[in-house]
Amino acid sequence: MSTKNCRKFKGDIENYLKKSRSNFESTIDGVFSDLNFKTWLCKANIIKREGYHAAHILFILLMLPLLRSKTVHGFCKKHWQNWSLAQKDTLYRFQQNDKYRWRSFMTKISQQILHAVELENIPQEDRCVVVDDTVLAKRGKKMQNVSYVYDHNAGRTVLGYCIATLGLLIPHGFYPLDFAFRFSSSRNAESPEAIGDCRKSSGQRSYEAKHHTKLELALMMIRRAVANNLMPGYVLFDSWYAWPQFIQAIRKIDESIHVICRLKDSNVRYEYKGDHYKLSELYNKVKHQLKKDYKTGLLLTRVQIGVAGSNEKMVIVLAKGYTEPEVEPIKGKKKQKASKWAAFLSTHTRLHSATIIRKYAQRWPVEVCFKECKQQLGLGKEQSNDFNAQVFSITASFLRYNILNYLNKFENYASKGELFEYIADQSAVLTYAQRLWDFFREMLGVSIAAIFKLFSIEDDISTYVETVNESLQAYLPIRGCET
C-alpha cells in the first residue's frame, strides 16, 4: 500500500468537534446519564462517603481540557462557582485515592459504549484489537515510580512512564480499552518507588509494571478483553511485539483470533522448504519472485513458513516500496534510513497478500489516538508526584477519547476533531462571561457600599448582592452540571 501521500494525518478529534452545535455542558452531562456513570462508579468502589458525589467530581475533572484548564489549580483559580464549589484539595484527594478501581470502571464504561454502537452486530472479522505502547515524558524526578525509558519517537532515553495500551478498532472508530505501566530498571536516585498493596487496584498496577514485561502485560490485557466478551477477529501490532512466543500465546487464547503484524530482522529463524532462515536471508532467497500488485502499488511476494515450537503454518508477505505514515515530524529527531523492504506475518493463511497489508495498516488509529490524547485530552500532562494521580489522569484521557467517539457515532459526524474545538471555544465564551459577571458583581457591591455610606445605613451589603445574584441566575450562560 502506497502511503507517500498520507504523511500528514488530520486526527479525528481535530476534525470532529468543530461541527457540534449543542451546549457542551449538557452534552457531556447527557453522556454521564446515558452510560450510567453513577452506577458503574459505585460498582467500582469509587464512592465518596461525604461531600460531593463521585460523579460530580469526575465530571469536573473530565471537563478540564475542554475548559482550557491544564491543571486542577488552574480550574480553581478561575473561580467557576457555578460549576462547583469544590476546592482543589477535594479534587486532589479524589485523584490520589488508592482504593478506586479505575480499570474496572473504564472496562464497564467501554462495554456500555460498545453496546450502544451495537458491537454484537459487527462480524468478528471486522473487529481488530491493536496493541501498542507510548512514552509519557516527565520532568519531575520526585514522581513515584518514574524511570528512564527509551522513546522511539524521540529517538532517545527520557524520564517518564511507558504505558502499553490495548484498543479495539471497529468500523465506527477506535476505542482504547485498557492500559498497563511498564517500569524500567534504570531509575533516578530521587524517584521514590511506590509499589503499594497488591490487593488494591493501584498496588496491582505498580506490582505488575515492575515484575512483568510488555509482552506479558499485553497478553494479560488481551485475555481480559476476551473474558469481557470483546472477542476480536485479529490482533494487530508492530514489529516490537512480533516474537513467536507472543504470537503463539495469542493463538492459544482462542483459535478464532488471528495475528497480523510487521516483522523485524532479528535472530528469529523461520522454516521454509525444510531450511531455517533469518528474515533478511529469507528475503534474499525469494526477492526475485517480487511482482507488482496493482491493489497496493507495491512489489509483493508471499511464502508459507513455520516457527519453532508450533505446528501451525503461517504466511509472511514480503513487500518492497512500503512506507509507514507519520503523525508529524519531531524536531531534533535523528532521521532513520527508510527500509528498502518490509515483511508482514499473518496466521490467517487464506488472506490475500494485499488484504494482509491493508489489515496491518488498520493499526494506525492507535498512533492518531496517542497524538490527539497528548495534544488535546491531557494524556501525560498530570504534574502530581502521586502514582495514583497518574493512573487516574491516563484513565481520564482515554475516557474523554471514548466519549467523543460515542458522540461521533450518534451525531453522525464524519470525524471527531472539530467537536473538541467547538466545545473548547464555548468554554472560552463561558469563562469570559463568568469573569464579566464577577466584575459587575464586585462593582455592584462597591456601589451599594457607597450608597449605604452616603445615607449612613448600617446593614449587611452581602445580602443585597446575593439577592441580585439569585435573581439574575436564570439568565446567566452558566448553570452548572446536573451530575
pLDDT tens per residue, range 192-223: 888 777 777 777 888 899 889 999 999 999 99
Q: Percent of the chain having pLDDT more than 90?
A: 44
CB 203: neighbour CB atoms within 10 A? 17
* Mean of pLDDT values over 318-345: 74
Q: What is the pLDDT of residue 409?
A: 72
- Sequence-distant (6+) residues with CB within 8 A of 148 are 157, 158, 159, 184, 186, 187, 188
pLDDT tens per residue, range 348-373: 999 999 999 999 998 988 998 999 89
Average per-residue pLDDT for the chain: 81
Q: What is the pLDDT of residue 30?
A: 81
Query: Is there a contact between 257 and 233 (Cβ–Cβ < 8 Å)?
Result: yes
Q: What is the pLDDT of residue 268?
A: 92
- The confidence band for 48, taking pLDDT boundaries of 50, 70 and 90, is confident
* Mean of pLDDT values over 52-78: 79
List the grid coordinates of 251: 493463538
Q: What is the pLDDT of residue 70?
A: 73
* Mean of pLDDT values over 154-168: 92
* Spatial separation of the C-alpha atoms in residues 380 and 362, rounded to whole Å: 25
Q: What is the pLDDT of residue 432?
A: 45
Q: What is the pLDDT of residue 173?
A: 87
* Spatial separation of the C-alpha atoms in residues 437 and 444, rounded to whole Å: 10
Angle between helices 214-227 and 201-211 (to 10 degrees): 140
* Spatial separation of the C-alpha atoms in residues 41 and 44, rounded to whole Å: 5
List, as own/partner pairs, every contact residues 122-126 make where C-beta atoms lie below 8 angstroms and the sequence separation is at least 24, other chains included. Answer: 122/170, 122/171, 123/233, 124/231, 124/232, 124/233, 124/256, 125/233, 125/234, 126/170, 126/171, 126/233
- The confidence band for 423, taking pLDDT boundaries of 50, 70 and 90, is very low
Q: What is the pLDDT of residue 106?
A: 95
Q: What is the pLDDT of residue 332?
A: 57
List the grid coordinates of 381: 500532562
Residue 400 has pLDDT above 70, yes or no: yes
> How is the chain split into domains, by residue range?
239-362
Lowest mean pLDDT among 15-19, 51-55, 262-266: 15-19
* Spatial separation of the C-alpha atoms in residues 465 and 88, rounded to whole Å: 26
Residue 115 has pLDDT above 80, yes or no: yes
Q: What is the pLDDT of residue 104?
A: 93
* Mean of pLDDT values over 128-138: 94
* Spatial separation of the C-alpha atoms in residues 343 and 341, rounded to whole Å: 7
Residue type (1 letter), 320? K
* Angle made by CA atoms 196, 178, 363, in degrees to the nearest 5: 140
Residue 5: φ, ψ to 5°:
-95, 10
Q: What is the pLDDT of residue 478?
A: 42
Angle between helices 201-211 and 102-116 (to 10 degrees): 100
